[in-house]
Amino acid sequence: MISKTALETADFVLRDLPDSPFSFGGKRIVLGGDFRQILPVIRRGTKTDLTNNCIKNSYLWNQFQKFSLLDNMRIINADANWIKFLLDVGDGVANDYEDRVTLLEGLPVLEDLVDDVFGGSNKGKDTFVPRITCYEDKNLPFHLKRTQFPVKLAFAISINKAQGQSFGRVGLYLPEDVFVHGQTYVALSRARSKNELFIKSTSERLFNVVYKEII
């Protein structure tokens, strides 16, 4: 999600270049986004700073015509209960009096998160992994020999960096509570299926920050 400053800067440039009195120089602008997700980051910013920086608080916002997309294209099995739960989390409807969300049955993981996410036939066993030698000479003036371990790459990213992405399997590690609008919603909604989401947390009740004035 972009800040209102970026939107207003684009408007200024598109007005200035053709010397046009119309918004965005008369160009048609299409925006897409989800206000349930995380707002643009402001270092040491307060809730007021974050909400004021949202494009909904730009002087340009009322000039846009709004449309709502109703179908969840990420969830592969059209699990209506899971889709509704995610929307309730994003809207803050699922919050209790302490602004916490109780996870659905089967989601919390009490064992080793890595084992639950990756599994495999050698789960829990000590395994010998030999190094293999790879040769490469394509488009090279010499014969390249490289020895490496045939291991599978695993990536860990922050909740903020996961926005807009979809994953086949997600392991969510939450040793501490989230602290800003949309983080819980983004974290829970990256997996394509409820069955492929694994959570390791200190509690089955996750803290959920939602700024209702933004939704």
Residue 4 CA to residue 56 CA, distance in Å, equals: 8
Per residue in 138-181, pLDDT tens? Answer: 777 888 888 887 776 667 889 999 998 898 889 999 999 999 99
Q: What is the pTM of this model?
A: 0.81
Alpha-carbon Rg for the chain in angstroms: 23
| pLDDT of the residue at 154 | 66
Instruction: Enter the tokens of residue 16.
Output: 């200035």
| pLDDT of the residue at 123 | 67
Q: Which residues contact 128 (CB under 8 A, 6 or more apart)?
A: none
Q: Which of 1, 26, 23 is nearest to 12 (CA)?
A: 23
Question: To which residue do tokens 């989390």 refer?
Answer: 89
Per residue in 115-125, pLDDT tens? Answer: 777 776 666 77
Taking residue 145's Cβ as centre, other Cβ atoms within 10 Å add up to: 10
| pLDDT of the residue at 4 | 95
Residue 130 CA to residue 148 CA, distance in Å, equals: 9
Residue 46 CA to residue 90 CA, distance in Å, equals: 20
Residue 49 CA to residue 27 CA, distance in Å, equals: 30
Taking residue 8's Cβ as centre, other Cβ atoms within 10 Å add up to: 14
The DSSP 8-state label assigned to residue 125 in this structure reads S
- Residue numbers in the chain where pLDDT is lower than 70: 120-123, 152-154
Give the DSSP letter string of 71-116. Answer: S-SS-TT--HHHHHHHHHHHHTTT--TTSEEEPPTT-B--S-HHHH
